[in-house]
Amino acid sequence: MATLYISDMYTLFNANKMVAIPYFGPRRMGYGLAGSVLMDLTVLEKVEIVGNRLKIIDSSPIGDDFLDGVLSLISKLEHNKKIKYYIKSILHEGGNVFQLFFDHLEFLNYMKLSFTRKRFLPTATVEFVNDELREKVFNNIREILLENKPLSDKSSWYVLSLLRATSSYRDIFGKEYKKQVKNRMKELIGNEPIGKGVKSVIREAETAAPSDSGD
């Protein structure tokens, strides 16, 4: 089994929100997925976050078509811009990259995808092939948030920041543990910059705020 990326783990939590072209439809999955890829590139030391800005430090190939596609895309953009600039660019300019992501998920062999169209929007329906793997990832997050298990690595830290930024944790834990989970996330994540960047883009979309260039 190939190593799971942060984007893979985020997808396990949000597959029911997946669309084939995220920037045409409901955007939570799109923003979270775009943010998760930037986190993958950070862990792989391809980009770094300085303040709330992203800097590309190594554009050489990783060996994964999807991550390499995103890295190639953002390498052609203006450099040293705010995180939300790159998230928006991935969503609005990287539609072809998302097909690479679906191919990647199929290759991992823990999901099967089928496509339907709803009002001209291609929507991906997910069937989990490896429920044991999915439950393992879920249980790890539950133990961290509800049983105060320490974070084992930076990947888990980033996954939590995305669940917080996109409010996905509400679907996972429900109202019963809302306060406990929120307090634990605040304790662990604080002001993690990519999560904050994802949250700011979602907030802009939800409030229909005028977009900017990300300067």
20 has pLDDT over 70: no
The CB-side HSE value for 95 (13 A sphere, CA atoms) comes to 10
In-domain check, residue 213: no
Does 80 reside within a domain?
yes
- Residue 37 carries which side chain, given as an amino acid letter? V
Is 124 within a domain? yes
pLDDT, tens only, 39-76:
999 999 999 998 889 999 999 999 988 899 999 999 99
Q: What is the CATH number of the domain that holds 172?
A: 1.10.3630.10
Alpha-carbon distance values, 88 to 40, 48, 53, 102 (Å): 17, 18, 14, 20
Number of domains in the chain: 1
Give the per-residue pLDDT at 25: 46
CB 208 within 8 A of CB 37: no
- Using CA atoms, how far apart are residues 115 and 97, in angstroms rounded to an integer? 17
Q: Is residue 198 part of a domain?
A: yes
Domain range holding 195?
6-207
Whether 1 is covered by a domain: the verdict is: no
pTM for the predicted model, two decimal places = 0.83
